[in-house]
Structure 1
Amino acid sequence: MNQNSVHEVVELLQDMMVLTAQNLTRMEVADHYRVIKELGKGKYGKVTLVTHRQRGTPMALKLLPKSSTDLRNFLYEYCIALFLSAHPNIISMFGIAFESVDHYGFLYEAALQSDLISIIKPREGIPEEAAKLCTKQLVSALEFIHSRGLVYRDVKPENVLLFGQDCQCVKLTDFGLTRPRGTRLKLVSGVIPYTAPELSDTANKEGLPIDATLDCWAFGVLLFCLITGYFPWEKTLPSDPFFDDFIVWQETGSTEDLSRHWRKLTIEAMDMMKELLALKPSERGPVSKALRHLDHPWRVDNWKIIEGL
């Protein structure tokens, strides 16, 4: 997608926001929905499972407090989720946005089987077949987002919802951080494993124009978690010894100092990580590079099983 097309998407989103604001329904949740349980909570607000009082339809309701939520930010998140929801691996929206006395809210498809983080076993990950099913679906969703000139910016297992056993169907959710490609972001220290290293250059006061390589980095970290049950590092900073050893591997090819968690990966899986987690953004991605490795074992124990057949 060229820059003109990105501008067209931005203009479309702005038009959607204006129309949504003009038609924002005023109502109280309890008048129309029965609250079943809380699904998640954060500094943004909370997500609850509700059913429609008349039809009984289960829905996920995201509520954001007016006291800490700018109306424009709410409209943006709702409209961008609506804009992307046609993809089968992106959460479906009900097209219902409203405001109550204290909250802004919108409704979307409920994931009754929770999210990806709930099935990742520490020190084990998830079954390799399930990890590969996730990979195919998440690549499809991320490529769809990127084809619209957008960068998702929040790839993590908590934002991958489960719709079926063994990851037969997964869907991305939560688009509050999604931005058009080229948007300049203030740089931050790499405080979480998913933060791409170029975002840690806090000496750059002008910020960084974002692109899809940020999602590729976070996607590589996610796959490492699925395969091993560990994060590869805590912070993407040289002060983190695990990340520093990773830098040495990427720059020299020497695996001698990599943590033992990397030993779970086959040569093919290591090659996949080298591509998705390239230190230079120009050498990284796209996310579809992961698809080249689907026909090869990713875990050493699975390779041994195949060898023994």
Structure 2
Amino acid sequence: MYLSLETMELEENKDLLSLTQFPPAELDLSLSFTSTSSFTTSSNSTSSTFTTPRSSLSLSLPSFSSNSSTLSPHPHSSHSPQWHSLSSSPFPLQLQHLYLIRPLGSGHLSKVFLCRLKTSPSPSPLFALKVIDLNTLPSETSHSHVLAEARALASLDHPFLPTLYARIEASHYSCFLIDYCPGGDLHSLLRRRPHSRLPLAAARFYSAEILLALEYLHSLGFVYRDLKPENVLIQSDGHVMLSDFDLSFIAPVSPKVHRRRLNRQNQQQKKEKRSNFENEELEFVAEPDTAFSKDCVGTHEYLSPEMVTGAGHGNAVDWWAFGVFLYELLYGRTPFKGPTKEATLKNILNKELRFPSLGGGDDDDMANARDLIRRLVERDPRRRLGATRGAAEIKRHPFFKGVQWPLIRCVTPPVVPIVPEAEKGDGTHTVKETFKWGSWNNMTCGGRKGLIKNKKKKKGFLSKIGLNNMGLFCGLLRLKSRNGRKKEKK
């Protein structure tokens, strides 16, 4: 049975109410909600202001147009079924137009629910609804975190970042309708792996996509400050989505184009082009290198030294966290973790970076991974890789050699969620975290080079066929089946 806030009663839904913390409608929750999303009217609209016992909080989203009467989907997801279903939904979108199916999780400021639109026929697209009760926020700092989340979500348009489909406001509640990722988070995936770590090829895949997400955030001026596997979600196609932006802050960005001299190997590759600048190439950099904050926020195992000391930090904290993130993917734990939080913070400031032996010998790929981590986990933020030229110089590191950045969405992910039929439909059944485990080392991109060069012989019949021959193989199967049916008739 679906749970609708339109008909919810306190006595019959105590369990869900305890999760949502929604009071009964007759107390103080009005169902006359307003929505300020990409659905806007030609009438003059103003941002709602919530009055709480502590302060008033205005959650205005300046990137939304107030004089447009048409649906404005984001370019990268304009053909998604979510936008199509929203185009036929009532306006203004209200909370009573949604079915709350089940809880997905909770954080220190919000709770997230799986939902769908009532007006969409089954099977209908699913959404995640992030609900924040502004009256329960512990401090003014928490209010600023909600503002940061609203500002970031309203600005994003990237395949590895969530799309904000609608913002619903009611009384002291603020709700964000965003993408649902059926694969759960990367932390859960790690816990299912032996020793909680990934093969190098898979670590390269996930870190490459997160690098692109961080590059996009920094190009908009956002310093993320909360990178960890728990905040990396797995979409239905196996690609990642970075979530939770309440700890981010924004700073000015001055995009620049640099000329970079090529090394000898790159010069040989460019020689055939006969360019006037065959010894150089242009490099675009958009990094908030003037960002500055003294807030100490984030997960303690991922905090950078400048955060721990309180000396002030900028964009380089994200590249420190990126190094810690890659270390955890490869080694199953963070590099400076101690028995207590205090011990961990002391280790961040003083402990030498060490790499445990994984067995099975060493190779160039793992050596490159360690070198990249060393250069990212550099205690001096001025010398840290990425601090000046951001993701552009990180992409050039040998660890990412062979990655075709513009085609990375074509790469077959190492793990793809298996969504039950019930979840594809109305989602009333509990979803089991099941995955299609692919070949960790077979990351091809439409027959082109993928993220790595395979050095070992591929195992399995399908892996021998290759993506280029998959269509031919399926055609042969159909022909064989057709001939078999003809023989049976005879």
TM-score above 0.5: yes
Corresponding residue for 2:129?
61
Corresponding residue for 1:34?
99
Q: Distance in 1 between matches of 2:187 and 2:227?
A: 12
Corresponding residue for 1:154?
226
Q: How does 1:172-211 map to 2 (within 5 A)?
A: 172-181=242-251, 182-187=291-296, 192-202=300-310, 204=311, 208=312, 210-211=313-314
- Give how far 1:64 is off: 0.3
SS of the equivalent of 1:219 reads helix
Corresponding residue for 1:277?
377
CA 1:148–1:245 in structure 2 vs 1: closer, same or farther (change >3 Å)?
closer
Q: Distance in 2 between matches of 1:232 and 1:133?
A: 20
Contact 1:47–1:60, Cα closer than 8 Å, also in 2: yes
- Give how far 1:151 is off: 0.5
Q: How does 1:8-87 map to 2 (within 5 A)?
A: 17=61, 29=95, 31-55=96-120, 56-69=124-137, 73-84=145-156, 86-87=157-158
Q: Between Structure 1 and Structure 2, whose CA radius of gyration is higher? A: 2
Note the alpha carbon deviations across 1:42-79, whole angstroms, 9 max, x for none: 22020111111111331000000020347765344223
Corresponding residue for 2:357?
263
Contact 2:296–2:308, Cα closer than 8 Å, also in 1: yes
SS of the equivalent of 2:225 reads coil
- Give how far 1:242 is off: 9.1
Corresponding residue for 1:104?
174
Corresponding residue for 2:398?
292
SS of the equivalent of 2:385 reads coil
- Give how far 1:272 is off: 1.2
Corresponding residue for 1:131?
203
Larger relative contact order (Cα-Cα within 8 Å, sequence gap ≥ 6): 1
TM-score w.r.t. structure 2 length?
A: 0.48
Q: Does residue 322 of structure 2 align to residue 222 of structure 1? A: no
Note the alpha carbon deviations across 1:243-300, whole angstroms, 9 max, x for none: 3797435xxxxxxxx4xx622383222211111101110111216326531349xxxx
CA 1:248–1:156 in structure 2 vs 1: closer, same or farther (change >3 Å)?
closer
Tell me the amino acid that sits aligned with residue 153 of structure 1.
Answer: R
Q: Distance in 2 between matches of 1:15 and 1:44?
A: 15
Unaligned runs of 5+ in 1: 1-13, 250-257, 297-301
SS of the equivalent of 2:111 reads strand
Higher helix share: 1
- Give how far 1:103 is off: 1.6
CA 1:132–1:18 in structure 2 vs 1: closer, same or farther (change >3 Å)?
closer
Moved more, 120-129 or 152-161: 120-129
- Give how far 1:148 is off: 1.7
Note the alpha carbon deviations across 1:125-163, whole angstroms, 9 max, x for none: 123222111111111111111112221111111111101
Regions of 4+ moved over 4 Å: 18-23, 25-28, 69-73, 235-242, 305-309
Aligned residues: 267
Q: Distance in 2 between matches of 1:114 and 1:131?
A: 17
Contact 1:91–1:109, Cα closer than 8 Å, also in 2: yes
Corresponding residue for 2:5?
none
Q: Distance in 1 between matches of 2:357 and 2:342?
A: 21
Contact 1:27–1:99, Cα closer than 8 Å, also in 2: no
SS of the equivalent of 1:281 reads coil
Q: Percent identity at matched positions?
A: 26
Tell me the amino acid that sits aligned with residue 105 of structure 1.
Answer: C
- Give how far 1:170 is off: 0.6
